Amino acid sequence: YEKSKEMINFLESGVYRIDSNFTFMDPVRVLNSSDYTQFRVSHSVYYNRFFECEDKEKSRVSTSSRKRKRKERKPYTLNERERSADQRHQEAKPLLLKAHEVLLGAKDLLHCISNLKCDGGNDDTSCSNGSRELSSIEDEKKQSFVELGSVWQAPLYDISINYRVDNKTTGSSLGLSRVVPAFNNLVINESCDDVEAEILNKRYVLPGDSCFYMSDLKQIHDLIPADTDNGFNLIVIDPPWENGSARQKSLYPTLPNRYFLSLPIKQLTHTKGALVALWVTNKEKLRTFVEKELFPLWGVSCLAIFYWLKVKADGSLINELDLFHHRPYECLLLGYCHGEGMNTELPATLNPLKENQVIISIPGEYSRKPPVGKLLMDYLPGPKPARCIELFARELFSGWTSWGNEPLHFQELSYFVNK
């Protein structure tokens, strides 16, 4: 009975609490339940990487892991940094194995996961072009906001937000457009419904009550509120860390670590404090940088680590847990920031951050993180509803501010289906 109650809840919210430490998440359901009223995020487009390309993916994974195994057979002594990384991994491993075991035991959930791609029935009819594969969407010329924002004409590009106003008496509806600069400008969808917007003949979906500021890091100071009461209670950051992946390099530009020291985290923090959630890779050099330099400079002490465990449609891990450079998990480091010049104690009523949380989901496109905001709401200081911001965002959420050089990336109409 408990399971089926949880399943009903999952089908509505996209979140399945397997137990107090382990949560399975269907990002598409999470987004559709809280961010969209007129459109729906398409399951088949979101999950294309692990469903449509499964055979291709399998052969790619098996040949590359064969190659890796061949390499790994050579006797190899870990250097000091690798030993520290391995130690972290060994510490996390029992928890991650337990989470995976518990997932494999939740049969009703597993059955549901295997059908996620085609959930929603006619889901494969994406808004702009009918039924098609993500690969063809990728091939299609997408707007590169990174390029667009870097040319001299960037300040001239507008976004038109198309509102629909329904006349209840006549039953008719009227279209209204608001045209504002697309770059270096806080663009707000003031309506509580999702609306369509257009830049250079490409269409995007803006969730109700969402806003974005599309700019380079150089302009991030424009987001600092004049009054700390208008600061943020939740700051989620997914920086473009440098790593060797050629795929990453072709998808978005990366920045050296020292650039993140200049992020104005304290100035963005609300008077009552903020929970800071930082996505990190498993590189030891990066973890040391965050713990020894970045968090201390931001005034954040790491209080908890949430793990994101990545699985395929059949519930198996996307890579072997022990694969050194390709772990099937990433970490979200969490801590509180008190804001510039403030020493406010966090209220005693604040729920203590839970340790040992594992969020399990099937990954979407490369580097796209699951929408963890909902799981963090219980830990936020300050007034409700909390003010939330994502830095280096590629998508928008209802009630949030998204900042980055391409916050509309996953808002393109082809990621959606009509409700």
Of the candidates 283, 368, 377, 399, which one interacts with ligand SAM according to CB under 6 A? 368
Measured N-to-C along each axis, helices 107-114 and 2-13 cross at an angle, to the nearest 10 degrees, of 30
Piece in contact with ligand SAM (CB under 6 A), picked from 107-115, 343-351, 354-362, 392-400: 392-400
Please report whether residue 156 would count as binding ligand SAM according to CB under 6 A: no
**Using an 8 Å Cβ cutoff, are 49 and 207 in contact?**
no
332 exposure class (CB count in 10 Å sphere: 0-12, 13-18, 19+): buried
* Binding track over 32-61 against ligand SAM, x by CB under 6 A: ------------------------------
Cβ-proximal residues to 252 (8 Å cutoff; 6+ apart), any chain: 146, 240, 367, 406
Please report whether residue 217 would count as binding ligand SAM according to CB under 6 A: yes
Task: For residue 128, count other CB atoms closer than 10 A to its CB.
Answer: 14
**Using an 8 Å Cβ cutoff, are 22 and 339 in contact?**
no
Piece in contact with ligand SAM (CB under 6 A), picked from 50-58, 101-109, 376-384, 403-411: 403-411
Q: Which is nearer to ligand SAM, 73 or 218 (CB)?
A: 218
Least separation in angstroms between residue 405's CB and ligand SAM is 4
Q: Which is nearer to ligand SAM, 82 or 216 (CB)?
A: 216
* Binding track over 225-254 against ligand SAM, x by CB under 6 A: -------------x-x-----------xx-
Of the candidates 11, 61, 146, 321, which one interacts with ligand SAM according to CB under 6 A? 146
Half-sphere exposure of 126 (CA within 13 A, CB side): 24
CA dihedral 283, 287, 288, 292 (to 10 degrees): 160
CA distance 272 to 342: 9
Of the candidates 392, 400, 415, 416, which one interacts with ligand SAM according to CB under 6 A? 392
Please report whether residue 406 would count as binding ligand SAM according to CB under 6 A: yes
Of the candidates 86, 216, 291, 340, which one interacts with ligand SAM according to CB under 6 A? 216
Please report whether residue 338 would count as binding ligand SAM according to CB under 6 A: no
Tokens representing residue 269 in the block: 């923090």
Q: Which is nearer to ligand SAM, 18 or 236 (CB)?
A: 236
Q: Which is nearer to ligand SAM, 51 or 403 (CB)?
A: 403
Which residue has tokens 């650039």?
Answer: 259
Q: Which is nearer to ligand SAM, 28 or 109 (CB)?
A: 28
Number of residues that bind ligand SAM (CB under 6 A): 17
Least separation in angstroms between residue 380's CB and ligand SAM is 19
CA distance 224 to 264: 8
Cβ-proximal residues to 197 (8 Å cutoff; 6+ apart), any chain: 159, 160, 161, 162, 189, 203, 204, 205, 206
Tokens representing residue 375 in the block: 């799981």
Q: Which is nearer to ligand SAM, 361 or 367 (CB)?
A: 367
Which residue has tokens 């604040």?
Answer: 350
Q: Which is nearer to ligand SAM, 327 or 369 (CB)?
A: 369
Piece in contact with ligand SAM (CB under 6 A), picked from 76-84, 262-270, 289-297, 401-409: 401-409
Q: Which is nearer to ligand SAM, 317 or 396 (CB)?
A: 396
Residue 188's beta-bridge partner residues? 211
Q: Interaction with ligand SAM in 58-97: which residues (CB under 6 A)?
A: none
Task: For residue 133, count other CB atoms closer than 10 A to its CB.
Answer: 14
In angstroms, how far is CA 48 from the centroid of its own chain?
Answer: 17
270 exposure class (CB count in 10 Å sphere: 0-12, 13-18, 19+): buried
Q: Which is nearer to ligand SAM, 274 or 396 (CB)?
A: 396
Please report whether residue 255 would count as binding ligand SAM according to CB under 6 A: yes
Which residue has tokens 């923090």?
Answer: 269
Q: Which is nearer to ligand SAM, 253 or 296 (CB)?
A: 253
Please report, as a single letter, which amino acid is at residue 13: S
Of the candidates 23, 42, 367, 411, which one interacts with ligand SAM according to CB under 6 A? 367
Q: Which is nearer to ligand SAM, 99 or 214 (CB)?
A: 214
**Using an 8 Å Cβ cutoff, are 388 and 381 in contact?**
no
Please report whether residue 374 would count as binding ligand SAM according to CB under 6 A: no
Among left, alpha and beta (phi > 0; psi -120 to 50; other), residue 403 is: beta
Residues that bind ligand SAM (CB under 6 A): 146, 216-217, 238, 240, 252-253, 255, 367-369, 392-394, 404-406
